[in-house]
Amino acid sequence: MTRRFPMPIPSGWFQVGYADDLVAGAVAPLRYFDRDLVLFRTASGEAHLLDAFCPHLGAHLGHGGDVVGEHIRCPFHHWELDGQGVCRRIPYASRIPPKARVRAWPLVQRSGILWAYHHPRAEAPTWEPPEVPEAGGGSAGFERHQWVIATHNQEIAENSVDKAHFRYVHGTVTVPDAELRVDGPRRDAVQCIRMATPRGELDGEIRVEAYGLGCSVTRFSGLCDVVLIAAHTPVDREHVEAHFSFVRPAAEEGSPKARLAAAVVRDIVKQMNEDIPIWEHKLYRDRPLLCDGDGPIGAFRKWAKQFYMEESA
């Protein structure tokens, strides 16, 4: 069977949950990066992500496992593993086998979101996920939207530089050129826009900060104040779980600016729903036939290559 995409699962930081959804003592089975995982929060409030299967006889820690203090306990024989994946207690044994451990994934809680670092060779992260001050410390105030899409992270991220599609898929009449900057795993773009409103034409700005192929933070200012945290987490090589988390200032509720912000959110969600059928049925062309006016697709793909490497044998 031929894969739809030649690219492997990219390295980088990816959303694996919302901080407020994972209370102390909670255990959640997950399926990301083509692997079974278990997410849990200890009694002291530390969140951890491990490979899901117990090193003993392979029970899934996320199905029936529970938290005991700072450990997760296997439902099968009550082996206890710490947040680094190391077995710390076997209730019926006097000696713990030295190899009794599973892979622990780098995990940080930032701006109300739990971010896990994926690297196919399990190398340590060399950069950080975004800090979004507007989000505060929790995720309770987010307006959330979620999709599971039959596509690859690169297709979603590439969409942002595919200038021509905005007119023909989304009906956007004018798409201003964006000032694009690249710095290692980060990619920034700034667009100045003008929109007709009942109060006349207003100027605004769209500022995008992309962190690898798994996350971007978009700030809409001037016309309204909206922040979008867009997170795209690989389920496997051909499916992505997408999360949109919107932040809007509570002080503006009910004002004309707030109504415009709500309209912006609706339009962004509408555009996502318009893109999905195309992503799910298109062929990825490794060497596309491009023309002037397409946008910096070639430059984007060159930047994206840094996130790909195959797993170690």
Per the domain annotation, does 2 fall within a domain?
Answer: no
- Shared domain check, 226 and 110: no
Task: Examine the domain organization and report whether 44 and 181 are in the same domain.
Answer: no
Average pLDDT over residues 77-90: 99
Instruction: Report which residue type is found at 55.
Output: P
pLDDT at 164 over 80: yes
**CATH number (domain holding residue 275):** 3.90.380.10
pLDDT of residue 202: 62
Per-position DSSP letters for 258-274, written without gaps between them: HHHHHHHHHHHHHHHHH
Residues 6+ apart with CB under 8 A from 105: 37, 49, 50, 51, 116, 117, 118
Residue 159 makes CB contacts below 8 A (sequence gap 6+) with 165, 275, 279
Identify whether the C-beta of residue 114 lies closer than 8 Å to the C-beta of residue 19: yes
| Phi, psi values for residue 121, rounded to 5° | -105, 15
C-alpha distances in Å from residue 221, one per residue of 203, 230, 273: 9, 17, 24
**Residue 144 covered by a domain:** yes
For residues 176 and 182, give the distance between their C-alpha atoms in angstroms, rounded to a whole number.
19
pLDDT band of residue 200 (cuts 50, 70, 90) is low
**Is a pLDDT exceeding 50 seen at residue 184?**
yes
**pLDDT(198) > 80:** no
pLDDT at 263 (0 to 100): 86
Whether 301 and 155 share a structural domain: yes
Concatenated DSSP letters of 170-188: H--S--PPPEEEEETTEEE
Do 114 and 147 lie in a common domain?
no
169 and 241 both lie in a single domain: yes
pLDDT-based confidence at 1, cuts 50/70/90?
A: very low
166 and 281 housed in the same domain: yes
Specify the number of domains making up the chain.
2
Residue span of the structural domain in which 111 resides: 12-118
For the cut 50, the answer to whether the pLDDT of residue 249 exceeds it is: yes
CA 275 to chain centre: 18
The answer to whether 132 and 111 have CB atoms below 8 angstroms apart is yes
The answer on pLDDT for 283 being more than 50 is yes
For residue range 38-69, list pLDDT tens digits in order: 999 999 999 999 999 999 999 999 999 999 99
224 and 262 within one domain: yes
Q: Which two tokens stand for residue 173?
A: 């009449």
Query: Which 3 state secondary structure label does DSSP give 202?
Result: strand
Q: Is residue 5 part of a domain?
A: no
Q: Are residues 107 and 174 in the same domain?
A: no
Give CA 48 to chain center in angstroms.
Answer: 17
Together in a domain, 154 and 103: no
In a domain, 237, yes or no: yes
Are 164 and 265 within one domain? yes
Q: Give the Cα separation of 137 and 241 in Å (integer).
A: 23
Q: Calculate the average pLDDT of the chain.
A: 92
Asked whether residue 71 falls in the same domain as residue 159, the answer is: no
* Residue 150: inside a domain: yes
Are 115 and 16 in contact, with CB atoms under 8 Å apart?
A: yes
| Residue finishing a domain among 58, 86, 118 | 118
Domain edge (last residue) among 118, 153, 171 = 118
Residue 107 lies in a domain: yes
- Domain boundary residue, one of 118, 151, 166: 118
For 128-162, what is each residue's pLDDT tens digit?
999 999 998 666 689 999 999 999 999 999 998 98
Please check whether residue 59 lies inside any domain of the structure.
yes
| 224-238 tens-digit pLDDT | 889 999 999 999 999
Q: What is the pTM of this model?
A: 0.93
CATH number assigned to the domain comprising residue 54? 2.102.10.10
- 103 and 168 share a domain? no
CA 313 centroid distance within chain: 27
b/e for 152-191, b at 16 or more Cβ within 10 A? Answer: bbbbbbbbbbbbebbeeeeeeeeeeebebeeeebebebee
128 found inside a domain: no
